[in-house]
Amino acid sequence: MNKYTKMTRLLAGVVLVASLPTVAMAQAREPLKIALVASKSGGFSTMGADVISGIRFAVEEANARGGVDGRRVELAEGDDEGTPDAGRRAAEKLTREGYKFILGPITSSISLAISQNLTRWDAAFIGTMAKADKLTADACNPRFIRTNHSDAMDLAMINQWVKGLKGSNFAILAADYVWGQDSAKSFEAAVTAQGKKVSLKLFAPLGTKDYAPYIQQLKAAGVDAIWFADVSGGVNFVKQANDFGLKTPLIGHALVSNFIINATGRLLEGTPGNVGYTPDIDSPASQAFVAAFKARHKRLPTDTEGQAYNGAMVLFQGVALARSVEPEAVTKALRGATVDTLYGKAAVRAADNQMVIPNYVARVKVADGVLRPVIEQAFPASITPPASPLCKM
């Protein structure tokens, strides 16, 4: 064999290695194993389906591109049944099976039950939906990162938003658990700071089906508008409010979500409320996500699908930054980092692992041929309040 033949074979070998499919290279490294713990049953099952859809889409997209940092992404799913105990059991089972990165829980109560066990399970948790301040205050955990808005962030936005709200006398109907209670406190603090008042506060137990007693009290209250914060009861309340002739305008905290709008016909048309994500967000990442999602599903992504996808995006970047799938290494790499999100470049605040992002108010109207939340006001990330001194990490 002459030297030219040897060189030809060497070059052929280099070309062969370089041309190996990226997916095959991803299979050679330790995979990224995600525990998707979401509400497949229970009061949040409709919203849970959107969480699952958004995360599955992110995983499928990542694997089609060759994985994350050369690693295939594997997904195992568990049902939190909409309760803290079931959520904790599902998360523990999956983490014991090696799926160490938790995504998907919706409620703050489930998220708190999981977060306090992360060190024991040697796991990490990227929160995409739960808003309770406690998660990034006295119950903060260096292994928990929140990529959605907290109640404190919503309050900062509400403080600005209520200046333009018509009326001076309000009622509150909120779910009787940590998030609903925080929402009620936030709204009352915001309106009273403006010299307005809340003359009626009602709290419905989680899982309430019959809202007639609450609707009667709201009708009799004679208020200018009702602050409504009850995600799992949203569909039933809106339908029953219409049946019982409640004409008082609603203001929604997580009410103008796609799944509630889709289930209530045109009853929410014109209703304002906060939103965590809509396809109106005009960042490069959001535009790419919307285009890819629409090409696959022939529809726009929902608010919940967008927030779930965004959390997966952040996790993937954490793995790339850490060059590891060790949970502690990944959360350490993300802490204080600035990453790409559906909202543009955003920082994970080092003091409490809260992602600092803009906030939005939308109104339900027809856009792109469908009834959906459409952003009317955007509030900059700069209004986000500082980290709670109760967080010690």
Which value, in Å, is the radius of gyration of the alpha carbons in the chain? 23
The CATH code of domain 153-275 reads 3.40.50.2300
| Cβ atoms 171, 155 nearer than 8 A | no
The CATH code of domain 26-149+281-357 reads 3.40.50.2300
Predicted pLDDT of residue 351: 98
Mean pLDDT of the chain: 92
Residues 50, 309, 82: CA angle, nearest 5 degrees? 40
Query: What is the pLDDT confidence band of residue 268, given thresholds at 50, 70 and 90?
Result: very high
Residues 48, 44, 358: CA angle, nearest 5 degrees? 65
For residues 129-142, give the mean pLDDT: 96
Predicted pLDDT of residue 12: 38
Query: What is the pLDDT confidence band of residue 312, given thresholds at 50, 70 and 90?
Result: very high
Give the percent of the chain with pLDDT over 90. 84
User: What would the 3-class secondary structure string for the chain be?
Assistant: CCHHHHHHHHHHHHHHHHCCCHHHHHHCCCCEEEEEEECCCCCCHHHHHHHHHHHHHHHHHHHHCCCECCECEEEEEEECCCCHHHHHHHHHHHHHCCCCEEECCCCHHHHHHHHCCHHHHCCEEEECCCCCHHHHCCCCCCCEEECCCCHHHHHHHHHHHHHHCCCCEEEEEEECCHHHHHHHHHHHHHHHHCCCEEEEEEEECCCCCCCHHHHHHHHHHCCCEEEEECCCCHHHHHHHHHHCCCCCCEEECCCCCHHHHHHCCCCCCCCEEEECCCCCCCCHHHHHHHHHHHHHHCCCCCHHHHHHHHHHHHHHHHHHHHCCCCHHHHHHHHCCCEEEECCEEEEECCCCCEEECCEEEEEEEEECCEEEEEEEEEECHHHCCCCCCCCCC
pTM of the model: 0.89
Distance CA 166, CA 352 (A): 35
Predicted pLDDT of residue 27: 53
Distance of CA 58 to the CA centre of its chain: 14
Nearest CA among 152, 137, 122 for reference residue 35: 122
Predicted pLDDT of residue 2: 47
Predicted pLDDT of residue 328: 98
Predicted pLDDT of residue 7: 37
Predicted pLDDT of residue 9: 40
Give 34-72 pLDDT, tens digit per residue. 999 999 999 899 999 999 999 999 999 999 999 999 999
Q: Is 195 exposed, middle or buried (0-12, 13-18, 19+ CB in 10 A)?
A: exposed
On the question of a common fold for 26-149+281-357 and 153-275, the answer reads: yes
Give pairs for 242-248: CB < 8 Å, separation 24+: 242/267, 244/212, 244/215, 244/216, 244/219, 245/219, 246/215, 246/218, 246/219, 248/171, 248/218, 248/219, 248/221, 248/223, 248/224
Give 3-23 pLDDT, tens digit per residue. 434 333 433 333 333 434 544
Predicted pLDDT of residue 128: 98
Residue 359 has pLDDT above 80, yes or no: yes
- Cα 237 to Cα 127, 175, 177, 215, distances in angstroms: 27, 12, 17, 8
Tokens matching residue 261: 């709008």
Predicted pLDDT of residue 14: 36
Predicted pLDDT of residue 49: 97
Strand order in the sheet with 370-379: 197-204, 169-175, 225-229, 250-252, 272-275, 359-367, 370-379
Domain boundaries, the chain: 26-149+281-357, 153-275
Distance CA 109, CA 17 (A): 50
